């Protein structure tokens, strides 16, 4: 009972910190040496919209990992999810700071995105640890592809945002590999397609709201 209560309190604390506290990174924000960023008004608006989408993705990552840590009964796997959450916390801080620098705001729907992602993570965890890990693998692969597309869409002169996205992309690929090594089960194609559809809705809405 005590363990369950502790886990529930930790999950609630994660939600409050993600949505309402200023995130702090454990790693320095990536930069490109000797590459100063100078953007037009239009380019700044585009970068702000794209980084808002990326920030939403990190809000969802915090929710997913918190839910999966809550749902698993395997102590080692719980630590795996919590460590991944801490690493994703760097991304949350970097994208929020970049939004501030661009004069852009986070998505107004972040509480909704968090709740939806937490629910999905909890459902995945109830289906078993291998399914939960498979959900991580597919999520991270889709995020990696999404970040690659942002590298193509970000203004060429936005070196600051591009450095952040490039590091995030590498980290997401690493998280997918770690989940595979931990015994992830490959998800059925229809489930992957549903995840892609849900991600498209989120990214389209978050680009504007």
Is 153 among the domain residues? yes
- What is the domain extent for residue 90? 40-208
Answer yes or no: are the C-beta atoms of 32 and 87 closer than 8 Å. Answer: no
Is 6 among the domain residues? no
Which residue's structure tokens are 């597309």? 149
pTM over 0.85: yes
- 3-state DSSP call for residue 183? coil
Residue 100 CB: number of other CB atoms within 10 A? Answer: 12
Looking at the structure of the chain, the number of domains it has is 1
Residue 20 CB: number of other CB atoms within 10 A? Answer: 9
φ/ψ (deg, to 5) at 11 = -65, -40
Answer yes or no: are the C-beta atoms of 30 and 167 closer than 8 Å. Answer: yes
Q: What is the pLDDT, as a whole number, of residue 32?
A: 78
Is 178 among the domain residues? yes
Is 114 among the domain residues? yes
Q: What is the pLDDT, as a whole number, of residue 38?
A: 81
**CATH number of the domain where residue 71 is located:** 1.20.1260.10
Give the Cα separation of 53 and 97 in Å (integer). Answer: 14
Provide the phi-psi class of 183: left if phi over 0, else alpha when psi is between -120 and 50, else beta. left
145-183: per-residue pLDDT in tens?
999 999 999 999 999 999 999 999 999 999 999 999 999
Is 163 among the domain residues? yes
Is 30 among the domain residues? no
Kindly give the parts of the chain with pLDDT less than 70.
Answer: 1-3
Q: What is the pLDDT, as a whole number, of residue 2?
A: 61
Is 120 among the domain residues? yes
Is 183 among the domain residues? yes
């Amino acid at each position: 009972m005590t363990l369950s209560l502790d886990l529930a309190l930790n999950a609630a604390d994660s939600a409050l910190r993600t949505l309402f506290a200023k995130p702090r990174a454990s790693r320095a924000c990536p930069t490109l040496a000797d590459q100063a960023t100078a953007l037009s008004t239009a380019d700044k608006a585009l970068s702000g919209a794209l980084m808002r989408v990326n920030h939403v993705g990190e809000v969802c990552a915090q929710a997913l990992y918190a839910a999966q840590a809550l749902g698993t009964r395997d102590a080692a796997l719980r630590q795996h999810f919590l460590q991944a959450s801490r690493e994703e916390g760097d991304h949350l801080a970097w994208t929020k700071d970049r939004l501030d620098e661009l004069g852009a705001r986070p998505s107004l729907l972040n509480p909704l995105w968090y709740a939806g992602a937490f629910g999905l993570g909890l459902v995945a965890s109830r289906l078993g640890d291998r399914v939960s890990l498979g959900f991580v693998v597919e999520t991270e692969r889709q995020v990696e592809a999404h970040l690659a597309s942002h590298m193509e869409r970000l203004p060429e002169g936005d070196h600051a945002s591009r450095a952040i996205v490039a590091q995030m992309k590498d980290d997401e690929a690493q998280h997918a590999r770690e989940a595979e090594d931990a015994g992830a089960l490959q998800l059925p194609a229809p489930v992957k397609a549903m995840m892609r559809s849900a991600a498209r809705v989120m990214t389209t809405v978050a680009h504007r709201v």
